[in-house]
Amino acid sequence: MTEAEFRLAYAPGVTPAKWARVWAERVPEVPLRLIQTPADEAVPLLREGGVDAAFVRLPVDREALHVIPLYVETTVVVVPKDHAVAAAEQVELADLADEDVLEPHDEVLTWDERPGQPAFTRPGTTAEAVELVASGAGVVLLPQSLARLHHRKDLTYREVTDAPQSQIGLAWLEAETTDLMEELIGIVRGRTVNSSRGRTAQQRPDQQQRAQKQPAQKQPARKKAPQKRSAPKPPRRTRRRG
């Protein structure tokens, strides 16, 4: 890991822009470089040292990795707009029993038993599968973020309530839990500046500059405690001579 920049990989469908904006505010002296990579290549890239951290699709091989699960995505079925499924708000896998279901080679969902009927071909990528859906060759089930990523005006999608789901996590090497990594963890978990770990224990450069520019505040003068007055002595009595 280098202080010159922080390299963050992300699988297709993940949208790291909101976290990148917070990073730019909190760590302006270290640029964040975003690198999109196929879902199945994110962990190998991380292990090879090509990136410092990665947003991955779970499950992954966790050997020598720290992984924080972040969120679970809704699974949808992508269909032509005039398809019967488009008339419903939600569907179940049983509703797709007679459909030709495409299975791209970069499939990110894990199935015990695939739904529907096998399609006549197996496309190489999700993008190719969506093209085949548009041609009327079948339907495809995807995490909602991928359906949005490959959106077409002639297609739509509907939630499949009982389908497997894809989970997104943040992964990094166990040996690389640095201050910058702690900073990223705090950002994706929604910690505030004051509650984040890592470099927040020390002042950041911008905070140090502001502190140096502020004039020292004068301490208010202490008031002297009022002195206690001693009680007047009683007058001395004189004896008269007889």
SS3 content of the chain, % helix, strand, coil (to 5): 30, 25, 50
> What are the phi and psi torsion angles at 7 (to 5°)?
-100, 120
pLDDT in tens, 32-63: 999 999 999 999 999 999 999 999 999 999 99
pLDDT in tens, 65-99: 999 999 999 999 999 999 999 999 999 999 999 99
Query: Shortest CA distance to 125 belongs to which of 40, 10, 8, 14?
Result: 40
Q: Is 154 exposed, middle or buried (0-12, 13-18, 19+ CB in 10 A)?
A: exposed
Residue type at 111 in one-letter notation: W
How many other β-carbons are positioned within 10 Å of the β-carbon of residue 232? 6
Query: Shortest CA distance to 214 belongs to which of 203, 200, 222?
Result: 203
**Any idea what the Cα angle at residue 42 is, between residues 41 and 47, rounded to 5°?**
100
Structural domains in the chain plus CATH codes: 6-72+167-202 (3.40.190.10), 75-160 (3.40.190.10)
Q: pLDDT value at position 234?
A: 58
Q: pLDDT value at position 236?
A: 59
How much is the pTM?
Answer: 0.78
Percent of the chain scored above 70 by pLDDT?
Answer: 79
Query: Shortest CA distance to 104 belongs to which of 154, 142, 78?
Result: 142
> What are the phi and psi torsion angles at 172 (to 5°)?
-155, 165
Arithmetic mean of pLDDT, 187-214: 61
Residues facing 66 on adjacent strands? 172
Q: pLDDT value at position 202?
A: 46
Written as six digits, the tokens of 221 are 């003068």
Tell me: pLDDT of 203 over 90.
Answer: no
Percent of the chain scored above 90 by pLDDT?
Answer: 76
Arithmetic mean of pLDDT, 184-190: 95
Q: pLDDT value at position 200?
A: 47
Mean pLDDT (the chain, rounded): 87
